[in-house]
Amino acid sequence: MNPRGLHSRRIDVAMKLLGALAVVLLAGVVAQLARGGHEFPIYPSYYPHEIRIQTLAPDWAAALLVENKIQAYVGGEPQFAAAPPDSLRPIESLGAFVIVRVNPASPLTKTDASACDAIGSVIRDMASRKGAWTLHPYPVTPFHGDYLDHADLAEAAKTSVLDSAGAATPVRGLKVRASSALTKNLVRPQWLASRSDWDIEIEEASAADLVASASWDVNGWPGPADVRSGWFQAALLLAPSLAGATRDRVQTDLVRLRSRAYGNAVERINLERELVAALAAGCRARVAGYTVKREYISAEYSAGIENIGFDAIAGLDSPIFIRTVKLKDFPWNGWLSLGVDARPTAAWNPVAGFNDGFGRLMWSAMSDPALLPAPYDAGWMLNRISDVQQTPAR
């Protein structure tokens, strides 16, 4: 054996014994000074000193999670051969918007009235079909931090679709294009159309990709400030399909919201509601519902992780995950092994890239953003520091 290696091991053992003694002594002191209080929901800024990210197929990721060889699978749902053990926990976030669009070249959608009839027929028919989706014909979902400002409008939109589902007569001869397994299950078999000849299209729009496409990060400051709000994402999805006076009105409302041209919170919320209502009432594109993304983490003791912070839209592929995750084996640092569902395709630099799933996760680990997405909110939280107002002395 290498004498230097033996000497190093003796030092390691001695340091571990001294560390254990220090912990025991400290525990005795703390036990006498304990105070009751409230815990924070997350503890930011744990730093694993090594993070390994590897691309894994869903079935291989499931096997490695069960064997505790990775602690989380980011971006997709692993394919388990059997029911996953209790030590594996699902993290749920918004998966995709289910969008229904009309083909402007179709003879059945030439006018706004005919487009409304066609798109309405498809959504009403979708309402009766089961699958891995949730009927929600309103673009702000319960996963958005500003959902409570729109909850009554969302429920009214759903009730309207369900009440008219059995009463309205479907448009005859509709041809509907669908590409994914989910969207094909939402279409009557006799309506399914080829790639070129179609009237209506049903597609899934990834919520995480939508936010990433509109986001930027300059000198550690992420933005735009409203990118995680439901009304902002509704505009990204639906505003390009509008025309005429409705489009002009929506653009005016967007300018006011982005420039903060309102008097108070009540005026802001009313403006957001009016904007989304106009977007949702369009006849060229509508949101019919959404899917839920489930990413799995290992909570096994002691090879798993805990204290997970995640984003309701992006899930685990978010800076707050890397900044909060704590390994159970180590109180402050250690080896974090992650799997992702797709190979990197973007340029790996903060100017031209880091905009695919792999790149965003890696940039979350490498960068030090000033702000992090606030859990269960549409806003942001300061990273590692807070603006604490001192209580005046009495």
The CATH number of residue 176's host domain is 3.10.105
Domain edge (last residue) among 235, 261, 291? 291
Domain co-membership, 254 together with 269 = yes
Mean pLDDT value of segment 352-374: 80
Place 3 in a pLDDT band, splitting at 50, 70 and 90. very low
Q: Is residue 16 part of a domain?
A: no
Residue 152 CB neighbours (<10 A): 10
Domain count, the chain: 2
Beta strands (DSSP E) in 259-379 are 285-298, 305-306, 326-327, 335-340, 371-373
Q: Is residue 110 part of a domain?
A: yes
Q: Is residue 45 part of a domain?
A: no
26 has pLDDT over 50: no
Range of the domain at 376: 50-87+299-382
42 has pLDDT over 70: no
238 has pLDDT over 80: yes
Angle at 125 between CA 119 and CA 130, to 5 degrees: 130
Domain co-membership, 317 together with 215 = no
Tell which wins on pLDDT, 197 or 331.
197
Domain co-membership, 247 together with 327 = no
Tell which wins on pLDDT, 1 or 139.
139
Domain co-membership, 103 together with 158 = yes
Cα–Cα distances in Å, from 312 out to 27, 143, 192, 378? 37, 6, 33, 9
At 150, which amino acid appears? H
Place of tokens 């994914």: 180
Side-chain-side CA neighbours of residue 69 (13 Å): 9
Domain edge (last residue) among 271, 291, 311? 291
4 has pLDDT over 50: no
Domain co-membership, 219 together with 344 = no
The pLDDT mean for the chain works out to: 84
Domain co-membership, 216 together with 335 = no
Least confident segment among 154-168, 201-215, 244-258, 374-388? 374-388
- Provide the 3-class DSSP secondary structure of residue 325: coil
Place 338 in a pLDDT band, splitting at 50, 70 and 90. very high
Q: Is residue 124 part of a domain?
A: yes
Domain co-membership, 70 together with 181 = no
Q: Residue count of the chain, please give it.
A: 394
Q: Is residue 5 part of a domain?
A: no
Domain edge (last residue) among 261, 291, 321? 291
Q: Is residue 152 part of a domain?
A: yes
Least confident segment among 39-43, 144-148, 216-220, 349-353? 39-43
At 158, which amino acid appears? K
Tell which wins on pLDDT, 108 or 14.
108
Total-model pTM: 0.82
37 has pLDDT over 60: no
Domain co-membership, 281 together with 323 = no
* d(C-alpha 105, C-alpha 143), whole Å: 35
Q: Is residue 285 part of a domain?
A: yes
Cα–Cα distances in Å, from 20 out to 14, 25, 26, 28? 10, 9, 10, 13
Domain co-membership, 281 together with 315 = no
Q: pLDDT at position 335, please?
A: 87
* d(C-alpha 3, C-alpha 263), whole Å: 74
Sequence-ordered alpha helix ranges (H) in the chain: 3-33, 58-66, 112-126, 151-164, 181-185, 207-213, 230-238, 244-258, 265-280, 319-324, 357-366
Domain co-membership, 141 together with 278 = yes
Domain co-membership, 262 together with 322 = no
CA 209 to chain centroid, in Å, comes to 9
Q: Is residue 387 part of a domain?
A: no
Mean pLDDT value of segment 210-239: 89
Domain co-membership, 122 together with 248 = yes
Provide the pairing of β-strand 216-218 with 221-223.
Answer: antiparallel
Least confident segment among 29-33, 53-57, 175-179, 273-277? 29-33
